[in-house]
Chain A
Amino acid sequence: MKILVPVKRVIDYNVKPRVKADGSGVDLANVKMSMNPFDEIAVEEAIRLKEAGNATEIIAVSVGPAKAQETLRTALAMGADRAILVETDELVEPLAVAKILKAIADEEGPGIVMLGKQAIDDDSNQTGQMLAALMGRPQGTFASEVAIDGDHVSVTREVDGGLETVKLSMPAIVTTDLRLNEPRYASLPNIMKAKKKPLDVKTPADFGVDVTPRITTTNVSEPPVRQAGEMVEDVDALVAKLKALGAV
């Protein structure tokens, strides 16, 4: 069984995003970029499934600029077998990404498409669900546990009221939540080896997908700043203040 793992190059999660003064977006010039953390978890889970003998090949895919090759090399260094970059300098929306991924899935025939539940830049949380819809296949979103059982996969999902388990017939789409696993670091020898692993470069047009955005971002601004309040000296003052505010 093949596992397809889409990964996105995003601003590193340790970097505080700066909004551009002209409101056109977030300043990404000279900012450290990394693999979306939820996608790292997806890569790790795919590798663990392969290590457990449940998968034979892991294909990492990224839709993005030429520099997304670095993100794919990271996936390869972690343990993916080969990679496909669908190169474009456009900002591709989740729906268009899902269409590209569907075309790739049609060619590759993976048993599982494993992807992060959301990217930490646009926080859309859509691509996996959309891909599942386009493929007409089941989805196990926000996974905290994944278990293969013959031609089914059981996914434990982190839902508002607790943990929900669903059983999906494969091929299936799984989106990962934070506590599914702790991704490994790529070792230096594996980073060197990853440079020799195959990486195909395609374009959205190769898959016949129109990536014209449906949504226009007209402005990006700083969130309203909450003003710091008052520091109190001791618990008595805290209680008095709470009572004065009518908060207790």
Chain B
Amino acid sequence: MAALVIAEHAGGQIADATLSAVTAAAKLGGDVHVLVAGGDDAKGAADAAAQIAGVSKVLLAQDAAYAHQLAENVAPLIAGVAEGYDAVLAPSTTTGKNIAPRVAALLDVMQLSDIISVEGPKSFTRPIYAGNAIATVESSDPKLVITVRTTAFDKAEATGGSAAVEAVNGAGDAGLSSFVKLDAVKSDRPELTSAGIIVSGGRALKDGPTFEQYITPLADKLGAAIGASRAAVDAGYVPNDYQVGQTGKIVAPDLYIAIGISGAIQHLAGMKDSKVIVAINKDADAPIFQVADIGLVADLFNAVPELTEKL
């Protein structure tokens, strides 16, 4: 029994999402290997992967065709390497979600998406209906292809391991697709999905400048990432990638401060695993208060500046 984790990496660094997937893979009970597929900087990421506690081997596939994780090129590589494994796991990031089903279809396997626990060698739980129900599922496929909800698994220790790195080869460029560009969001703030503290704003912030005026100073003070509800994103206050929720980012920080967010089901599905939830809302009946550890019924335009000052 051995499991292969598909590494998410950038700039020679292993992403935290990979560490959560390693923890999930270890729960299957066998050896855990990591595949790093990428371009020039993949070697550095493979060396970093070799340090992850609990990883016994790292496979490195270095080819310019793998640099941008194009599913058309990477999936056949993974499907080939998967021959020697009982399970293939990828984190439920946009990269993992893009590639894993393509791998599963190439292997004629029905994928298990977004697992939140390992119940047995082939049994898992996963959220369905936007987190309104939890399904326990069991696969009958000989090989498993799994995506892992990263917030549901602790991160494996990034150091302490000393796995060997072995080169593997795939077919390279499938000639079907090409990478054009990435408009990366540049920010000095911590990344939403890995932030320890998140300050999130909702529709009550009125408009973009107001959102900025009230949310940003508090986030600055706390060294927090900034999130938003779908309503705030749809209203154009902030860009898409701020969205926390079932259809946006799933987060689980130590502290989540929801400001002017009513707490629609799909938003709650994206943040209810946060350790401490604070809600500030004018409406005492807002559903957000049903999940908040600390609730304050107040006008955010008074409360937030005061909070920023007093923290």
Contact = CB atoms under 8 A, between A and B. Distances in A.
Interface in A132-149: 132-134, 136-139, 141-142, 144
B276 interface: yes
B193 interface: yes
Interface in A214-248: 214-223, 226, 228-232, 234-239, 241-242, 245, 247-248
B254 A214 contact: no
Interface stretch (A52-60, A163-171, A185-193): A163-171
B177 A217 contact: no
B296 A134 contact: no
B105 A17 contact: no
A68 to B, nearest CB: 19
B13 interface: no
Nearest to A127: B101
B102 A129 contact: yes
Contacts of B93: 160
Contact of B94 (A131, A134, A142, A226): A142
A182 to B, nearest CB: 10
Interface in B237-265: 240-241, 246-247, 249, 254-255, 265
B268 to A, nearest CB: 9
Interface residues of B, number: 86
A120 B130 contact: yes
B310 A236 contact: yes
A103 interface: no
Contacts of A127: 101
B113 interface: yes
Given A132-B71, A228-B291, A217 B137 contact: yes
A228 B296 contact: no
A159 interface: yes
Contacts of B70: 166
Interface in A83-120: 93-95, 98, 120
A70 to B, nearest CB: 20
Interface in B272-311: 272, 275-278, 280, 289-298, 303, 306-307, 310-311
A94 B101 contact: yes
Contacts of B311: 239, 242, 248
Contacts of A159: 94-95, 182
Contact of B138 (A144, A218, A223): A218
A126 B113 contact: yes
Given A26-B133, A133-B106, A163 B182 contact: yes
B50 to A, nearest CB: 24
Given A164-B181, A165-B181, 14 more contacts: A17-B133, A26-B132, A120-B129, A125-B97, A126-B104, A139-B71, A142-B97, A165-B182, A168-B177, A213-B110, A218-B136, A219-B136, A229-B295, A238-B278
8 contacts: A165-B182, A166-B179, A214-B139, A219-B135, A223-B132, A235-B306, A239-B307, A248-B311
Interface of B: 10, 68, 70-72, 75, 93-95, 97-106, 108-114, 123, 126-141, 175-185, 193, 197, 222, 240-241, 246-247, 249, 254-255, 265, 272, 275-278, 280, 289-298, 303, 306-307, 310-311
Interface of A: 11, 16-17, 19, 26, 93-95, 98, 120-134, 136-139, 141-142, 144, 154, 157-169, 178-179, 213-223, 226, 228-232, 234-239, 241-242, 245, 247-248
